[in-house]
Amino acid sequence: MPMGTAITRMLSVARPATRGLALRRAGFVTSARSSTGSPSSLENQRKTTGVLPPYAPVGVSAALAAPSSGAVKPTLFEHEFTMTDRVAMVSGGNRGLGLEMAMALAEAGARAVYCVDLPKQPGEEWTKVKDYLNRMEGKPGQRRLEYISADVRDQEQMWKIGETIGDREGRLDTCVAAAGILKSITDCLEYPAKQFQEVMEVNVNGVLFTAQAAGRQMERFGHGGSIILIASMSGTVVNKGNNWISYNTSKSAVLQMGRNMACELGPKRIRVNTLSPGHIYTHLTAAYVDPQPHLIDHWSSLNPLGRLGRPDELRGVVTWLASDASTYCTGSDILVNGGHHAW
Ligand SMILES: NC(=O)c1ccc[n+]([C@@H]2O[C@H](COP(=O)([O-])OP(=O)(O)OC[C@H]3O[C@@H](n4cnc5c(N)ncnc54)[C@H](O)[C@@H]3O)[C@@H](O)[C@H]2O)c1
């Protein structure tokens, strides 16, 4: 059907009051002056780019559809990047990168962020972050940090936790699988089976069980969702001089797990991406480099920025991946490593 005919049909069935909205939702504009050359009909628009979010249009489409005078509001942080009313689950959320990312999601407006970690009670850092979020300005009912003690290696327990969150909140939108362990340097030809298995059980099985726990709830509620698996640049490159075969192998597995899950879950609008940090200074890395300060200089020299990263430097990327700001991103690995991979 020619473009003009399709638009005319659409307009003729729409009541006058809803015409402008229908056109705006379809990414169309209402006057020749602001024509975008956008797709040819509402149906085509849906088939081509999917259902638009309730706050559409945004960006250039919004500018072109807007009346020619009067104040307008920015949408980028109000809508696309916001986590308002969303519910998230973060494994390894008691400290380190998990806690930093849990806090970022809460700060971005999430209703509740469930941190799952091993200790029976959350640590002092977690408790202080919860208190800080409680004191942060915002709408009532936002930014609730919750703690659940569990072992990500226990599939049944993880699925149950997902169900409990789903039952309590009526939704589960975001999952960050950040629980992970690193064992001491050991030569590959001598690597003991037990130690190798221990790393795989947390870094591979545990990541899968966490992603399953959340993905099953995302499927249950039918809103789609975003699953972020924390891999590492060590899944793609070897950290020169560090014989970490179990860790690096486990992170490669997470990269492929992410691509696999993305392909299986895409039709359910569940996005799955991996986030691969470089050398970030956390408890995990401090335990390793603090007793050997020359390693800090060495690791710093391995990237163009000449330093280690800070956990807070993952706040933006996790919020982007979790929110509507990344709705066309799935099956990707996002490297955040100071350019370590660039040379
Ligand atoms: N710090 C870095 O430089 C760096 C770089 C790349 C990737 N990563 C990855 O980021 C993630 C977080 O690392 P981090 O530096 O914050 O480490 P961290 O040790 O500070 O935090 C890891 C958390 O995972 C939890 N955990 C471990 N085993 C668990 C289990 N069986 N069940 C539940 N929770 C468990 C720990 O209790 C801890 O709170 C890990 O997957 C790590 O491999 C870290």
Surface-to-core class of residue 167, CB atoms within 10 Å of its CB (0-12 exposed, 13-18 middle, 19+ buried):
exposed
How many angstroms does the Cα of residue 179 sit away from the middle of ligand 1? 4
On whether residue 108 sits in a domain, the answer given is yes
How many angstroms does the Cα of residue 202 sit away from the middle of ligand 1? 10
Query: Which of 99, 118, 303, 314 has the most ligand 1 atoms within 8 A of CB, as the residue to mutate?
Result: 118
Ligand 1 near 237 CB (within 6 A): no
On whether residue 66 sits in a domain, the answer given is no
Q: Is the torsion defined by CA of 231, 334, 188, 304 positive or negative? A: negative
Residue whose C-alpha is closest to residue 41's, from 63, 12, 9, 16: 9
CATH of the domain at 116: 3.40.50.720
Instruction: Check residue 44 and give its pLDDT.
Output: 76
How many angstroms does the Cα of residue 24 sit away from the middle of ligand 1? 45
Instruction: Check residue 288 and give its pLDDT.
Output: 87
On whether residue 206 sits in a domain, the answer given is yes
How many angstroms does the Cα of residue 183 sit away from the middle of ligand 1? 12
Query: Which of 120, 284, 295, 315 has the most ligand 1 atoms within 8 A of CB, as the residue to mutate?
Result: 284
CA nearest ligand 1 atom 13, residue: 97
Count of structural domains within the chain? 1
On whether residue 63 sits in a domain, the answer given is no
On whether residue 135 sits in a domain, the answer given is yes
Q: What range defines the domain where residue 180 resides?
A: 79-342
On whether residue 26 sits in a domain, the answer given is no
Instruction: Check residue 42 and give its pLDDT.
Output: 63
Instruction: Check residue 140 and give its pLDDT.
Output: 80
Query: Which of 97, 203, 209, 303 has the most ligand 1 atoms within 8 A of CB, as the residue to mutate?
Result: 97
Ligand 1 near 218 CB (within 6 A): no
Q: First-to-last CA distance in the chain?
A: 52
On whether residue 64 sits in a domain, the answer given is no
Ligand 1 near 101 CB (within 6 A): no
Instruction: Check residue 39 and give its pLDDT.
Output: 57
Ligand 1 near 162 CB (within 6 A): no
Instruction: Check residue 141 and give its pLDDT.
Output: 81
DSSP assignments along 282-339, one per residue: SHHHHHHHTT-THHHHHHHTTSTT-S-B-GGGGHHHHHHHHSGGGTT--S-EEEESTT
Catalytic residues: 247, 251
Ligand 1 near 329 CB (within 6 A): no
**Which atom of ligand 1 is the closest one to the Cα of 180?**
41
Surface-to-core class of residue 252, CB atoms within 10 Å of its CB (0-12 exposed, 13-18 middle, 19+ buried):
middle
pTM of the model: 0.90
Q: Are strands 174-177 and 87-91 parallel, antiparallel or unpaired?
A: parallel
How many angstroms does the Cα of residue 261 sit away from the middle of ligand 1? 21
CA distance linking residue 276 with residue 248, whole number of Å: 12
Q: What is the mean pLDDT of each run of 10 residues along the chain (343 residues)?
A: 37 36 38 45 77 92 95 96 97 98 98 98 98 91 95 99 98 98 94 98 99 98 98 95 95 98 98 98 91 92 97 98 98 98 92
Instruction: Check residue 240 and give its pLDDT.
Output: 86
How many angstroms does the Cα of residue 189 sit away from the middle of ligand 1? 26
CA distance linking residue 85 with residue 301, whole number of Å: 42
On whether residue 226 sits in a domain, the answer given is yes
